Amino acid sequence: MGDLQIKKTPKQYDVVIVGSGAGGGMASYVLSRAGLKVCLLEAGPMYDPAKNITQLKGPWESPRRGASTNFRPFGDFDACYNGWEIDGEPYTHKDKTEWRWWRARMLGGRTNHWGRISLRFGPKDFKRKSIDGLGEDWPIGYEDIKPYYDTIDKLIGVFGTNEGLDNDPDGIFLPPPKPRLHELMIKKAATGIGVPVIPSRLSILTKALPDNKDRKACFFCSQCNRGCMVYGDFSSSSVLIKPAMATGNIDVIANAMAREVLTNKEGLATGISYINKDDMMEYQVNGKVVILAASACESSRLMLNSKSQRHPNGIGNSSNVVGKYLHDSTGAAMGGYLPNLFGRKRYNEDGVGGMHVYTPWWLDNKKLDFPRGYHIEYWGGMSMPAYGFGFGIEGMNGKYAVAGKTKDAGGYGAALKQDYRHYWGAGVGMAGRGEAIPREDSYCEIDPNVVDKFGIPVLRFHTEWSDYEVKQAKHMKETFREIMHEMGAVITWGDDGPENNYGLDKPGVIIHEAGTARMGSNPKTSALNKWNQAHDCKNLFVVDGAAFTSQADKNITWTILALSMRASEYIISELKKNNL
Angle of CA points 362, 364, 366, to nearest 5°: 165
Nearest approach, Cβ of residue 77 and another protein (Å): 7
Choose, by CB under 8 A, the member of 7, 8, 11, 421 that binds another protein.
421
SS3 (DSSP) at 570: helix
Binding to another protein (CB under 8 A): which residues in 221-260?
221-223
Choose, by CB under 8 A, the member of 287, 351, 494, 508 that binds another protein.
351
Binding to another protein (CB under 8 A): which residues in 171-210?
174-181, 184-185, 188, 199, 206-207
Q: Are strands 198-199 and 533-534 parallel, antiparallel or unpaired?
A: unpaired
In the chain, the amino acid numbered 383 is S
Nearer to another protein, 408 or 499 (CB): 408
Nearest approach, Cβ of residue 481 and another protein (Å): 22
Nearer to another protein, 164 or 248 (CB): 164
The DSSP secondary-structure symbol of 404 reads T
145 closest CA partner among 163, 165, 127 = 127
Choose, by CB under 8 A, the member of 74, 219, 362, 454 that binds another protein.
219
Binding to another protein (CB under 8 A): which residues in 307-336?
none
Burial class of 514 by CB neighbour count within 10 A (0 to 12, 13 to 18, 19+): buried
411 is a contact residue toward another protein (CB under 8 A): yes
Binding to another protein (CB under 8 A): which residues in 432-461?
none
Contact criterion met (CB below 8 Å) for 238 and 225: no
Nearest approach, Cβ of residue 72 and another protein (Å): 8
**Site pattern 363..382 for another protein (x: CB under 8 A):** -------------------x
User: What 3 state SS string does 10-25 have?
Assistant: EEEEEEEEECCCHHHH
Residue-by-residue DSSP string for 479-520 = HHHHHHHHTTPEEEE----GGGGGGPPPTTTT---B-TT-B-
Q: Is 58 left (phi over 0), alpha (psi -120 to 50) or beta?
A: beta
Nearest approach, Cβ of residue 484 and another protein (Å): 17
Residues in Cβ contact with 38 at an 8 Å cutoff, skipping those fewer than 6 apart: 13, 14, 15, 16, 17, 28, 31, 32, 244, 249, 250, 251
The rounded distance, in Å, linking the Cα atoms of 570 and 568 is 5
Sign of CA dihedral 157, 162, 165, 171: positive
Binding to another protein (CB under 8 A): which residues in 46-85?
52-54, 56-67, 69, 71-72, 77, 79, 81
Burial class of 281 by CB neighbour count within 10 A (0 to 12, 13 to 18, 19+): middle
Single out the segment in contact with another protein by CB under 8 A; choices: 220-228, 248-256, 542-550, 554-562. Answer: 220-228
Nearest approach, Cβ of residue 34 and another protein (Å): 33
Nearest approach, Cβ of residue 339 and another protein (Å): 13
346 is a contact residue toward another protein (CB under 8 A): yes
478 is a contact residue toward another protein (CB under 8 A): no
Nearer to another protein, 48 or 574 (CB): 48
Total binding residues toward another protein, as defined by CB under 8 A: 79
Nearer to another protein, 59 or 90 (CB): 59
